[in-house]
């Protein structure tokens, strides 16, 4: 019976499969097999024993049901795996888990699970990057009102919005690749990290195990990989979630009835409300924003897992069983949902233009001030004059330029041609060039990734 929504509602089958019990058991067995092979290479156990252990360290031989049965008796999860593997290896089973402590297996297996999960996250980030790149290119001249403090500011473009998100997504791709260097590490260092149980060949055994698994060996551990590594991982996942939350929040606001400049896709048979048939709710974006809160909250326990008693206690273990799969599965859902929303984003050009002119040219106050300064008025004097004219236009519900035409003080400096030039579409600065610069930078990153085979 499924209890947590990640079991049936959120995340792709691909991501959920990584964190299901069967695959987690397989990763533990993969580490045990790599350890046996390393022991054989340094001459600690017979090569035949390493071969048998490696062949049978899979869930075709070691059944999840049997592991659970043993754990119910002995109340130790890793020893249950060790016993179940030893059973199917016959006389060679005596060499299973030789010299290792439980977290040598757990933490190294976790690194394998994280490696598979990060590959999906990185792939989805790159797909999101492609969608945003296309939108930035298509809309670099789509002029819209910019808003600060929720109020109309000066014009910007939709290309700028998408390019800002695009640049941020690229930083996350960079962070993932930097993070791999620190988080995709394993250990094989014994009870308190000294490798005493492996003898003088401990460092070599650890190196061989990690080479066999495609991981880096940790430089130093006690009984565990230090949890600052996991905390960093959780913070990066939460940071990615915050960008998706940012995108979703903007779409939700822009889809509000009184704004309605863009809308997430709405299916022909989609139902918006159980009682109000007309509703077109931004439910996908709302889901993204909601799930982000869970990822934010998972950062705190990850940080609390770093300070443990002495060489290690068990308080981190139960927490990580929850926050690792939960964060990856929920982020997977958020990424795929955001890609779907942006890929089918609907634009309402008439509303974009309506909102651009909604304030009767009040948004032209800044270029008006600059025009007065250009014509010889002092900047501070121009600011105060335009402020007074803008407040007059606001209270009288009139067009700012109409009020300016009535100002003798302003018209000493301005011509009708000056006023005619004050149009929102003319005041987007270097926005298209800035967008082009971001797109060019992303192109360089994509070529660099292709060259490096990433």
Which position among 76, 273, 318, 421 bears the catalytic label? 273
Tokens of 226: 């230090």
Active-site annotation holds for 130: no
Taking the chain, what is the end-to-end CA distance rounded to the nearest angstrom?
39
Name the DSSP class of 218: P
Q: Return the structure tokens found at 146.
A: 């910019």
Cα→Cα distances 17→54, 116, 357, Å:
23, 10, 51
Residue 113 CB partners (closer than 8 Å, separation 6+): 18, 19, 23, 24, 27, 324
- Cα separation, 396 vs 404, in Å, equals 13
CA–CA gap between residue 420 and residue 368 (Å, rounded) = 11
Q: Tokens 């950062």, residue?
A: 299
Question: What does the block give as tokens for 238?
Answer: 């939460």
Phi and psi at residue 404, in whole multiples of 5°? Answer: -65, -40
Instruction: For residue 149, indicate whether it is catalytic.
Output: yes
- The one catalytic residue among 75, 149, 278, 395: 149
DSSP H helical ranges for 42-99: 47-56, 64-74, 77-88
The number of beta carbons lying within 10 Å of the beta carbon of residue 65 is 8
Q: Distance between CA atoms of 143 and 154, rounded to whole angstroms?
A: 10
DSSP assignment of 114-140 equals HHHHHHHHHHHHHHHHHHHHHHHHHTT
Question: Minimal CA–CA distance to 335: which of 259, 269, 247, 272?
Answer: 247
Q: What distance in Å separates the CA atoms of residue 82 and residue 79, rounded to the nearest whole number?
A: 5
CA 278 from centroid of its chain's CA atoms: 34
Which residue has 């999840």 as its token pair? 64
- The CA distance from 325 to 254, in Å, is 33
Q: What are the b/e assignments for 71-84, b being 16+ CB within 10 Å?
A: beeeeebbebbbbb
Spatial distance between the Cα atoms of 359 and 266, rounded to a whole number of angstroms: 30
Return the DSSP state at 261.
Answer: S
Structure tokens at 313: 């206690």
**Which positions are annotated as active-site residues?**
149, 273
């Amino acid at each position: 019976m499924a209890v947590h929504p990640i079991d049936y509602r959120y995340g792709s089958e691909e991501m959920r499969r990584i964190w299901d019990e069967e695959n987690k058991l397989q990763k533990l067995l993969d580490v045990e097999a790599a350890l046996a092979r390393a022991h054989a290479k340094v001459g600690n156990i017979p090569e035949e024993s390493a071969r048998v252990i490696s062949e049978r360290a899979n869930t075709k031989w070691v059944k999840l049901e049997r592991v659970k049965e043993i754990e119910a008796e002995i109340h130790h999860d890793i020893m249950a795996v060790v016993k179940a593997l030893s059973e199917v290896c016959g006389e060679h089973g005596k060499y299973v888990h030789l010299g290792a402590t439980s977290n040598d297996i757990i933490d190294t297996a976790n690194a394998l699970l994280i490696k598979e999960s990060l590959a999906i996250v990185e792939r989805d980030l790159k797909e999101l990057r492609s969608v945003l790149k296309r939108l930035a290119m298509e809309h670099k001249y789509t002029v819209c009102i910019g808003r600060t403090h929720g109020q109309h500011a000066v014009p910007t473009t939709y290309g700028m919005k998408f390019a800002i998100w695009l640049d941020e997504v690229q930083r996350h791709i960079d962070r993932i690749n930097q993070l791999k260097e620190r988080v995709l590490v394993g250990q094989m260092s014994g009870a308190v990290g000294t490798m005493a149980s492996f003898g003088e060949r401990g460092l070599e055994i650890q190196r061989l195990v990690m080479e066999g698994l495609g991981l880096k060996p940790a430089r130093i551990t006690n009984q565990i990989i230090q949890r600052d590594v996991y905390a960093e991982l959780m913070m990066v996942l939460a940071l990615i979630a915050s960008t998706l939350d940012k995108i979703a929040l903007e779409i939700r606001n822009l889809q509000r009835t009184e704004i309605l400049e863009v809308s997430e896709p709405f299916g022909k048979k989609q139902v918006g409300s159980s009682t109000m048939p007309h509703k077109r709710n931004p439910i996908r974006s709302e889901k993204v924003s909601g799930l982000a809160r869970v990822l934010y909250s998972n950062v705190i326990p990850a940080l609390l897992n770093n300070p443990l008693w002495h060489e290690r206690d068990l308080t981190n273990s139960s927490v990580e069983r929850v926050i690792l799969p939960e964060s990856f599965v929920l982020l997977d859902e958020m990424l795929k949902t955001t890609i779907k929303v942006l890929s089918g984003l609907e634009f309402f050009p008439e509303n974009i233009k309506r909102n651009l002119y909604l304030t009767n040219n009040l948004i032209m106050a800044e270029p008006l001030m600059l025009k007065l300064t250009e014509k010889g008025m002092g900047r501070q004097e121009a600011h105060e004059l335009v402020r007074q004219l803008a407040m007059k236009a606001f209270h009288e519900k009139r067009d700012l330029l109409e009020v300016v035409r009535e100002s003798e003080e302003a018209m000493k400096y301005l011509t009708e041609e000056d006023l005619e030039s004050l149009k929102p579409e003319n005041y987007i600065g270097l926005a298209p060039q800035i967008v082009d610069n971001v797109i060019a930078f992303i192109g360089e990153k994509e070529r660099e990734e292709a060259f490096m085979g990433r």
